[in-house]
Chains A and B, each alone.
Chain A
Amino acid sequence: MAEMNIPQGGGKKGHKKVRSKKMSTRVDLTAMVDLGFLLITFFMLATTFNKPKTMEVNKPAKEDKIDKKDEPPIKMSKTVSLMLGDNDKVYWYISPDEIDANTQLTLDSVDYSPTGLRKVIQRRQNEVQAQWGKKDDLFVMIKPLPKSKVKNTVDVLDEMTINGVTRYAILQPNDPIDSLVALQVGQSRK
């Protein structure tokens, strides 16, 4: 450790000149290094390094002024509807273009794994490509039911990014088919 030599009574020797002792300028830095590293450890532990990421979501504006008739309706054969239910299940169906008494609707449920939802989206992309010539024409309607978890919504949005689906929207499940589906899977849609 650092030591200090204090000259004691060295100057009382007759007529000799008082000579101050040359002291070493070296200081023991061990303690300072200790302190430095201690503080580093503290700051490292207190820092948040991994900044959370964000996912931007745009919702269609709630404009009551827009006349529904001005917007051309989207061809249902270009779409796929995903209804997010509880217990990590996605119910998906394709609405028919025209609904009449003979319309049959197939409803299937998958999970959020790469073999589940991703397969459905990819298959649908290929179907749309075959029918309309462009993969990007696929429009995914995401309809989360109230009992689904936030994680599910994030997973689905993620799946859109992974599969390169550019057209999708989070919608309220409020067309008649949705009510039927919700009823089928035993959930209210509100």
Chain B
Amino acid sequence: MTSTLTPVRSKRSALTRGQLPKYAPYAVLAAALIIGAAVLALIGFNALGWGVLSALLFAAGLVGWSAAVEGSRKAKDRLATCLVLGAFLVALLPLISVIWTVLVNGVPGLVTPGFLSSSMNGVTGVYDNKAAEDGAPVVGGIYHALLGTVQITLLATVISVPVGLLTAIYLVEYGNDGRLARAITFFVDVMTGIPSIVAGLFAAAFFFAVVGPGTKTGAVAAVALSVLMIPVVVRSSEEMLKIVPNELREAAYALGVRKWRTILKVVIPTAISGIASGVTLAIARVIGETAPILVTAGFATSINNNVFGGWMASLPTFIYTQILNPTSPSNPGPSSQRAWGAALVLIILVMILNLGARLIARIFAPKTGR
């Protein structure tokens, strides 16, 4: 046993000569942070400047050291690593900042008793003034808006998924890349770029023409949202159906299975995990839309259980109105607290939907294993 072991050598292997030690990046980072802090201390310290200066010093120091010891190829590699890492940090910054801001501002609203279970019905500026001046608890909540968001989004999903999925099935299975299929693809792409307010105006105008002037209900908002959702659903379902191997379709045909049954029983089950997660992401995409809901469902302060009648609140419009028209104009504090709380709930909803999409993808994924 011992005879086969390589003897321990004190000097470094010839194969690893000319390399920076493993701790090099950390050492340079520490040096960059210290030097950056020192320089900024002379001209006035601020965190952003410290971060940027340290990053530049780190990149320059590491690349320069590497060029001196390891040669130009390794130095370029380290430069590219620094750029990639830097871009990642820059991209991450707003995300973390948003989540942090919403958490800090939203948690007080969220933990207020009754925030999730009461509406704004009867909540007037008098209560808000009392809350701001005498320290009374902030009353009113988002129950009506949460209910509205869930109802509108659910109805929009019920409209969009069949339309979008069937369109995708036509494009992949029946379109044969013909003129109609290409036209549909083109207009779906155009629809993807429609500004959401235009979708809202379309739905409002459509119901104006069909039902009558001033029709503002949750259903109108759902139609507006489905205009935004359908292209996303078509696109994601199309991609998922396309990656189902043709061999599976042929296998089914060769068993004497009809085309529509092949699609229903073989193609869609094989693609269902991707389709389901695509749909969930489409929902997450439209759940935060504000403008189309304002022009289609109006705004309500009380609970409305009927998606087909009466104005309806939703989380985004709730946030919008609470910030723009505080319940008490002289004391906007409680309104703003409610708005942040609603924003936090909205972000949590979107996160749950994203996690749900992953879960769905995992549950439906084709099984492997022996």
Partners in one complex: no
Q: Which residues of B contact A (CB under 8 A)?
A: none
